[in-house]
Amino acid sequence: MALLSDLVNLNLSDTTEKIIAEYIWIGGSGMDLRSKARTLPGRVDDPAKLPKWNYDGSSTGQAPGEDSEVILYPQAIFKDPFRRGNNILVMCDAYTPGGEPIPTNKRFEASKIFSNPTVIAEEPWYGIEQEYTLLQKEVNWPIGWPVGGFPGPQGPYYCGIGADKAFGRDIVDSHYKACLYAGINISGINGEVMPGQWEFQVGPVVGIGAGDQLWVARYILERITEIAGVVVSFDPKPIQGDWNGAGAHTNYSTKSMRADGGYQVIKKAIEKMGLRHKEHIAAYGEGNERRLTGKHETADINTFCWGVANRGASIRVGRDTEKEGKGYFEDRRPASNMDPYVVTSMIAQTTILWNP
């Protein structure tokens, strides 16, 4: 019998010009990714040349049943690591038939901020450190953990190796290569402090692209865990007790911060962030209060403080930046389940456009 893998791995370029485009969007919860595929007559490299599409919003909590069409606008194209060949992944955002962004569409507002001439001039760069936890299917307990029990305490797992310290590396490593293949600017990976928890970083990416790339990286990750039979969780504090939470630290710089004298610009920016601490925290992910306790390398959720090389601060500035007098800073507050469109645009807005 032919193997399923022979069919899944068919190289269609041998027989046809047609390609498959997987359209991806964010569903009604703001964290559930959805996708479906369509055939196109030939290769496409420019999102503007892709047809708009639509989906059943009443099945994703985004439209009423009697008026359920939600329109998908293609925004970014990536190579499809699962289908390979000339097949593509397409990151989309969602609109009413009237052309209005639906309420859960956070990209639209972000895009407005990133189109502001003042913001464009500052070329905001983002590097996002996405942490996540891998769970055993059906029991939803972290992989490598004994069901009904706990592994030895944290210590050996951060960047650890070995069958008793690193759980799920095949998922992490295939995700790394798949993202590079797709054209996502994935800059690194590491095993995290809690066993079964990992991190990948996307960046530096300018403006709205950071959100697009992080969402597609999350999509690729969940498609890979689907293959592996494992569940991925973006919950910011998956296990209560002496176990680290999961964040999405967001590294940020503007043209002024990267130029000579940038350190002063950074300090002013951090001041402004401090004045809007409550507003940012409200937008930095659900359940973050379970994670930002002041322990486990976090700052308390009600406190705003910053420091050089201080992992217990809300915002951390690296030693290199301090030494060279220019660089970037790391906002350590966002939770792993944050929406990167919201977080990246809010940081740009507060530091570039907002005045106290």
Tell me the C-alpha distance between 273 and 251, whole Å.
14
- Pick from 47, 160, 274, 287: which binds a second copy (CB under 8 A)? 160
Residues 6+ apart with CB under 8 A from 72: 23, 25, 52, 53, 54, 55, 92, 93, 94, 95
Nearer to a second copy, 122 or 330 (CB): 330
- Pick from 228, 239, 283, 305: which binds a second copy (CB under 8 A)? 228
Amino acid letter for position 74: P
47 binds a second copy, rule: CB under 8 A:
no
- Please, what is the minimum distance in Å from the beta carbon of residue 202 to a second copy? 10
The enclosing H or E element of 124 equals none
Nearest CA-CA partner of 211 in 76, 115, 121, 314: 76
Indicate the Cα dihedral angle 104, 208, 291, 200, nearest 10°.
Answer: 120
Tell me the C-alpha distance between 200 and 334, whole Å.
15
Phi, psi of 96 (to 5 degrees): -75, 165
Phi, psi of 109 (to 5 degrees): -65, -40
- Please, what is the minimum distance in Å from the beta carbon of residue 317 to a second copy? 11
CA 261 from centroid of its chain's CA atoms: 31
- Please, what is the minimum distance in Å from the beta carbon of residue 183 to a second copy? 8
312 binds a second copy, rule: CB under 8 A:
yes
Tell me the C-alpha distance between 110 and 125, whole Å.
14
Q: Which two tokens stand for residue 124?
A: 């905001």
Q: How many residues bind a second copy (CB under 8 A)?
A: 50
- Pick from 72, 89, 143, 224: which binds a second copy (CB under 8 A)? 224
Tell me the C-alpha distance between 324 and 318, whole Å.
10
Nearest CA-CA partner of 72 in 97, 103, 49: 97
Choose the binding region for a second copy from 37-45, 106-114, 160-168, 276-284 (rule: CB under 8 A).
160-168
Nearer to a second copy, 177 or 268 (CB): 177
- Please, what is the minimum distance in Å from the beta carbon of residue 127 to a second copy? 12
Q: Which two tokens stand for residue 277?
A: 């601490």
Nearer to a second copy, 108 or 158 (CB): 158
43 binds a second copy, rule: CB under 8 A:
no
159 binds a second copy, rule: CB under 8 A:
yes
222 binds a second copy, rule: CB under 8 A:
no
Helix pair angle (107-115, 209-228), 10° resolution:
150
Q: Which two tokens stand for residue 266?
A: 């950074």
Nearer to a second copy, 313 or 346 (CB): 313
Applying the rule CB under 8 A, the residues between 255 and 294 that interact with a second copy are none
Choose the binding region for a second copy from 106-114, 162-170, 207-215, 245-253 (rule: CB under 8 A).
162-170
Residues 169-198, mask of contacts with a second copy (x by CB under 8 A): xxx-xxxxxx-xx---xxxxxxx-x-----
Applying the rule CB under 8 A, the residues between 70 and 109 that interact with a second copy are 79, 81-83
Calculate the alpha carbon distances from 238 to 30, 128, 244, 290 in Å.
Answer: 18, 20, 9, 9
- Please, what is the minimum distance in Å from the beta carbon of residue 165 to a second copy? 8
- Pick from 97, 261, 307, 325: which binds a second copy (CB under 8 A)? 307
Chain residues that interact with a second copy, rule: CB under 8 A: 4-5, 8-9, 79, 81-83, 155-156, 158-166, 169-171, 173-178, 180-181, 185-191, 193, 224, 226-228, 297, 307, 309-312, 318-319
